[in-house]
Every structure is written in C-alpha cells, then in structure tokens.
Chain A
C-alpha cells in the first residue's frame, strides 16, 4: 500500500479513537450513569387488639407492647432550617395498634439523659407523629412541603411532667402565675392549663405550624434506663375531619420525629424520618396477637444503623468547635480578638488577616455554601464550618511571619486552591530574607567592583569542551 495512504489511515484511526474517548468522557463528565433502586416506604403494621390503655404509668410498659412487632425507623436530622444540629438521634422504634375505637402509638429511642425542663440554653426532649389529612396525598419529602395539611402530635417532656406529675420542671417559672394579692389567677392566657402532654398541631409546609383549637390527643412518656418510651392515644375517627387526620381505610401515612434537648434540639431542629406507610388492620379481622407474633414477616426492620453512622452523628460535635490547646495560658485572661471569616467557594473574606505577634485571636468561620475547612499552616489549627454552623478556634499568634490558611474539606474543583493569608507581624522571616538578599547584593557588588585581578570572558562549558 502507498506509504501516504497508510499514514493517513493510521492518523484517521488515531483521531477517531481519541474523539470517541473524548466524547465518552464528555458525556459522562458529571458521573457515569448509575441505577438506583427506589426504596419503598417502610411499613408499620397497626394491628387490631381488644385492649384499652388509660395511659397510666404501667400502660407505657403494658404487656401488649411486649407482643407487638417493632419497626425500627431511621431518622436523619433536618437540613432545611439553619442552624444545623450538634448531634442527632439515629433511629426510633415504633409500635402501633388500635382497638376499633382508639389508635395507639409507642415510640422508644435511646437518650442518655432525660431533659424535662426548659430554661436558658436548656431544651426539652420530645417526639412527634405526623399524619397527612389526605391519606391519598402523593408522597413528598417532608421538609420540602406537604402534599396536604398534616396533623402533628407533639409530645414534650416538660408538658408530660406538668400534666402527669404536676411539676413545672422549673420551680420559679410560675412565680407570677398568681399574684400575691389575688386569690385567683386572672391572666389565664399567660400560662395555659396543660390538659395533655401532647400538643395537637396542624401544618402545611415549613413555617406554617399552628396549634389546633381542639386538642384531641393524649400521651405519656417515661424515661427509664437511658430509653424514652412515649405512648400516644387518639380516637381513630374524630368529628373534625378538616383538622384531624382520620384512620378510616386500611392505609395511611405517617412520619416520626425526635427532639434531643441536650443536643440543642428545639423547634425545627430535630431528627425525623421519611414517610412511613401505616398498614391498618380492620377491626373485623380477629387475628390473634399470638398469630401475629409468629409471623416474622410482620416485623418490619428498616435500615440497620451501623456503628459508623452513629459515630458520624456524634462527630458533628467535635467538628463544630475547634480550639488549640497550645499556648492558651500565655494570655488566657485577655479577651481574644474576634476575627469573623466568611468562607465560600473558593475564597475567604477577608482573605488577608493581619495580627500582631503575641495577640490572642479567635477565628470564627461561617460558610455561605458548602462545608469548608480552615487549616492554618505552622499552627496546625484545623476547624470546619458546615453551612449554618460556626467553626471557631482560639489561639495565640506566637509565631511571626506570613502563613497560609487553606480549606481542609473538599468543597469543589478549586478546593486545593482555596487559600488565605494570615500575617503575624512583624514578618521577621521576610525581613530576614530581604536583609540577606541586601547584604549579598552589597557583597557581590563590592566583589565585582573591587576585584583587583581582572578576568577575561569565559566562552565555553569548560568541563566538556576542549
């Protein structure tokens, strides 16, 4: 074959292969297509049992709960509303049954301490069941908006204390409840009488939470051996179908949430589940509890929560606040200078920080987009700032010079180049450098000008040329 044709064919083939590979890479530049299995909502079976619970203390641990299947529902902390949490509750066990008249839910979860009193910087434990008013509403992510109004039953530990034990939890809270000179309370609106440990609420989309006019739900919680056990009770059907969810058919949806007071949970800061399907067995089917318990398929086990997930949920605490321990004693009594740092992809504001040597400073970093880090060269300080969470570090600037701080959390393509400068003045290292250069300059100049013996030019690489 003609040489030119051969060359042309090879070149065409080379270009073709490269173009094909380049095109493949371009098509998949945002990742190769992957197929994900759509996970069906978990199912909580609401069996029929001819039992009634008056919500006495013993009813929280009644025999029926020992027999009922338990669904382990995975919770994750909400991420829509800021600030984000210090920690979360990874899962809750849910049991449910009805007796043809009332429906009962029992939620149990681990909590190493019972938070039952509200005060400044102290919040109470709680849990909730949410059921949409329209049983046929399309499933959507909970915090992204409901498909229909939702009836929420929120149990709170402080209200439980007030309702069932007559304790306020905070001794001085009701000091103004009755004025000393009055025999009877006249400002009845200041602290409403607690008629239930459960608040009956309505909501439709975030920010629309409203307390219902009529409160139809009762509940009771007992904390024992590091576990909260909370039972809800409500009639299956109420007279107010516009504001109360109704358990008429065989199917209904529900979601569950838990507040951990000592982790700062309150309001929208909570751990919550995705939608779960309630499978309500009709009262006519007199299936015995024993038979149900023998049916292993009824025991719904949702996701297994691995130890690493639990560890990760705890790690939020340690990464939210970082502080160097070194040299703190030097100026421990002085108030540190606060430097507010804003991080966004891929820069810090301010990007150059000047501080004096010996100054005690607190870096307070906030992220405007994704999680960013702050690693300071030479000082080894490493803090993180998740969106909505502040990262802080306090240290004494005991080393002078210019140091780079750089993002320590992969935040995008330019992550390795997300850098700022801290200048600890006086910059003695740079001064030393400049002085060294200056002295060398003078010495070399002197050597050149004062050198007595004059040299002639060098023409070749003397080592290898003759």
Chain B
C-alpha cells in the first residue's frame, strides 16, 4: 500500500483518518499535563467521592438502590459517563483519574505527588501466559453474574468496589507497577477495547526524536516522573488499548515529544498489533452483556428479573448458565459461522480462518459501543433525576445539602428514548460497516477477495443492528 493511498483513507468517505490535532500544542494544556499534581489532584477528588460511595454502601445495606448515593453515582452517573463520554471521546481518561488502584500505587511509591522510581513491594513480573485480556474477560463476565445485586443493593456495590480496591492493593504489592490495571481490573478490559474507538490518543510527535533518545526515560523514569506504569513503550505507542493515560510520559520526556491528539474515532481498529482471541472474546462478551442487561433491566419479563436478582438459587444458576453460554459460546459461534462464510466467499486460501475471525471481530467494537451508548440512554433519561436527590442526601439521613433532596423522580425526554437509541445504533452500524470493509481489505491480500469476504460480514452487522433495534424499540 502506498503511503499516499493510506493517507487518503477516510471514515465513511468523509473524515480523513490521518487528521490529528495536538491539544498539548496549546501552551496551557501542555503546562497542565506536565505538572506532577495533575492528574493526582483529580484522583484525590475522585477518591473523596468514592469514599462517600463506599460509606453509603456500608450504611445502605439492602435498601432500595434508587435512593442510594453509591448505586446512583456508580451505576447511573459513572457508568453512563464512561460509556457515553469518557471512553468514546476521551479514551481511557477514567483510568487516568481512577482512585481504585491508587492505594496500591502509593504503597509501591511511598509518595503521593513526588517521584520515587525505586518502587516498593515484591515487584514480580506478571505471568506471561496471563498477559492478555482473558483474566479480565472472565472477571468481568463473572461480575455481571451479580448485576441483579450490585446495581440495586448498596451493600453489594460496596463489596464489589471494596473488593476491587483490596485486589488492587494486594496485587500492587506483589506484582510490578499497574499489573492489576493491565491484566485484572474488570473495568479495564472493556475500556481498553472500546478506547480503540476513542477520539483522543497519546502518541509521540516525532518518532525520529525517540529513536535517537537512548535513555528512553519514558520507560525507565527520571526525576520528573515514573517510567510508564502501564509497562508500555510510549515512544512506539500505536493503540489506546493498554495506555492508561497517566501522563507520566509527558513528564519524563525531555524533548516534549508527546502529543495528546484529537483524531477521528476508531483509527486504532486498523492497527494490527497484539490482536488476539482475548480481545475478540471481549467484543463478544460486551455485546452479550449489553443484550442481557437490557433484557433483565429494561425488558418487561418479570421471570427473567427474578432469575437475575436471585429470587431463587435455581433461577439464578439458570441465569448464570444461559448468560455464560450466550457470551462465551453462542455469540462467538454465530460470529465464527459468518467468519467462515467470509473466508468462503472470498475464495482466499492463504488467509487462515483464525486471522479472519480475529481481524473481523474488531468491527464489532463500534457496534458494541453503540449498543452500550443506546442502552445508557435508557438508564440516564428515566433515572437521572435521582442523582439530584442523592447529592443532597448521600447517606439517606434526611439531609438536604443542596436543596435538591425533595426533588421527585422526574423522567426526562423519555419520549425520545427510542429514537435516540435508533440513531445511535444506526451511527454505530455505519461506522462498524465502514471499518468492517477496511478490516476486510486488511485481512485478505486480494482486494477482490476482500470485497467478497466483506459481504457476509455486512449481512451479520445488518442482522445485529436490526436485532438491537428490535430489542430496544421494535
């Protein structure tokens, strides 16, 4: 492929994929990104909020979650922000400000703001076999088994978040740097995957400068900052997936060679680096969970709700079994059939089926993200007004801190809910099909074969979007 041809690539034929604007080129932004207290100050603010969340969880017990600060803040505000704004626009910015692993990191560094590159703890290497998304896949799927508990019972939200914090501390003391965030945190995996769709990225400005820089302080650290806590090589960063946007590379780079780019969404989908079955399955799991969450939480079927909330142990076990089979077997199985058809239609013999399966699975990322954004509208519009109440009375003690404690439940624009969901799904379908075509071109050596191989994929995406449309408003 000629460089000229590559640079002419456009998203939906409109937006050039090579367009970038470096936010850090603005002096104020660059200054901010290089400060040691940033983003720590944001983490500390978030930590205060999470302490309130945890306290409301302990105090809230099994009471109704819609009047719990923890439940509303985490599962309405945070989750919706994550899916609708933070990940699709700002990549893994949440990881930048996440307070959950901070205790562990502080214990490693024995500093909060300062720099101490001689890290404490055992600093063991994370097992190579587990250096992928599989642990996160299973942990995240396992977490959703309890979705009928932690999204409604404040105490269970405490157990979940508290458990993540404890796990973060323990693993940070045993393994090096952010191994916990990279390979274990249940929230990390899908953020990494969907961050491929983000409209921002951290990259080097000029690779030649990095090539000449022998010390590689972005990896090793210096007096101004830590070597990449996410165990990456910032000088050759190509995808958002594993970059936690901690901004240490901005501080350690002596040449100011790091950029905080705005870009067209989804360009990382075309980067063939570290692609694997683990990430493919993450896509399948996310789509399966979106469907399951909708059916259980926004569907009308009471018997499924009884299963999910563990009304009977047998029902709950049925839910786990069906959900697991759906996420790990049925959806991947369907995708496998269409991958097989793609290879069959393409007529290509030299491309391995596994490569087709893995490569094409990346076009499910825009589709999955769109389904999650559409799902999030269904949470936000009807239930967003609860947030005003819990802000004024976070512990249900009858407080009225901001004068909003008595605001009644007020659904907002729910008449527009289904049209908004349809529009979101349609946009996701367009982007998914566009990247699907580009991925097909990337997978098959012969462009004619790629076009033929794209047809089953387009059929699958069409069926998927109609299925989601039917589920959300059909």
Contacts and interface: CB of A to CB of B under 8 A. Distances in A.
Q: Do A and B bind each other?
A: yes
A347 B305 CA distance: 9
A458 B203 CA distance: 20
Nearest to B149: A413
Given A449-B451, A458-B442, A437 B426 contact: yes
B143 interface: no
B60 to A, nearest CB: 8
Contacts of A465: 238, 271
B442 A463 contact: no
A327 to B, nearest CB: 14
A402 interface: yes
Nearest to A351: B300
Interface residues of A, number: 74
Nearest to A423: B474
A414 B309 contact: yes
B65 A463 contact: no
A3 interface: yes
Given A22-B159, A29-B62, A458-B442, A464 B238 contact: yes
Contacts of B469: 430, 433-434, 437
A458 B362 CA distance: 14
A346 B302 contact: yes
A434 B203 contact: no
Contact of A437 (B239, B462, B473): B462
Given A377-B415, A401-B473, A456-B5, A463 B20 contact: yes
B238 A430 contact: no
Given A15-B166, A441-B458, A347 B59 contact: no
Contacts of B462: 437-438, 441
A178 interface: no
B270 A14 contact: no
Contacts of B162: 18, 21-22
B62 A413 contact: yes
A14 B296 contact: no
B417 A457 contact: no
B448 A454 contact: yes
Nearest to A11: B170
A429 B271 contact: no
A177 interface: no
User: Of A26, A458, A460, which is in contact with the most chain B CB atoms at under 10 Å from its CB?
Assistant: A458
A36 interface: no
Contacts of A226: none
Interface stretch (B41-49, B248-256, B329-337, B433-441): B433-441
A457 B445 contact: yes
Contacts of A437: 426, 429, 462, 465-466, 469
Contacts of A83: none
Interface string B34-68: 00000000000000000000100111011111110
Main SS of the interface on chain B? helix
A28 B466 contact: no
Given A11-B170, A463-B261, A463-B263, A406 B426 contact: no
Contact of B302 (A351, A378, A462, A466): A351
A433 B473 contact: yes
Contact of A406 (B155, B382, B470): B382
B1 A430 contact: no
Given A419-B300, A440-B429, A456-B447, A461 B107 contact: no
A465 B469 CA distance: 37
B84 to A, nearest CB: 18
Contact of B301 (A3, A351, A449): A351
B437 to A, nearest CB: 6
B419 A11 contact: no
Contacts of A377: 382, 411, 414-415, 417
Interface in B412-457: 414-415, 417-419, 422, 425-426, 429-430, 433, 437-438, 441-445, 447-448, 450-451, 454-455
A308 to B, nearest CB: 11
Nearest to B382: A406
A26 B267 contact: no
A465 B120 CA distance: 36
B173 interface: yes
Interface in B170-227: 170, 173-174, 201, 203-204, 207
B272 interface: yes
A352 B270 contact: no
A459 B1 contact: yes
User: Of A3, A30, A352, A433, which is in contact with the most chain B CB atoms at under 10 Å from its CB?
Assistant: A433
A408 B383 CA distance: 10
Contact of A462 (B18, B120, B165, B203): B18
Contact of B61 (A22, A31, A430, A458): A31
B297 interface: yes
B138 to A, nearest CB: 22
B409 interface: yes
Interface string A23-58: 011101111100000000000000000000000000
Interface string B129-154: 00000000000000000001000110
B321 interface: no
Interface in A363-409: 375, 377-380, 399, 401-404, 406, 408
Contacts of B422: 429-430, 433
B300 A421 contact: yes
A32 B301 CA distance: 34
B19 interface: yes
A440 B430 contact: yes
A104 interface: no
A74 to B, nearest CB: 22
Contact of B474 (A351, A427, A444, A454): A427
7 contacts: A14-B166, A406-B411, A430-B473, A434-B469, A440-B426, A454-B447, A464-B201
Given A351-B301, A445-B458, 19 more contacts: A10-B169, A22-B158, A352-B300, A375-B411, A378-B414, A401-B418, A403-B418, A413-B63, A413-B152, A413-B309, A427-B473, A438-B462, A440-B433, A448-B454, A455-B447, A456-B5, A463-B18, A463-B20, A463-B267
Q: Which 8 A-B pairs have the closest CB atoms?
A: A347-B302, A378-B415, A351-B300, A29-B61, A377-B414, A25-B58, A457-B441, A413-B152
Interface of A: 3-4, 7, 10-11, 14-15, 18, 21-22, 24-26, 28-32, 346-349, 351-352, 375, 377-380, 399, 401-404, 406, 408, 410, 412-417, 419-421, 427, 429-430, 433-434, 436-438, 440-441, 444-445, 448-449, 451, 454-466
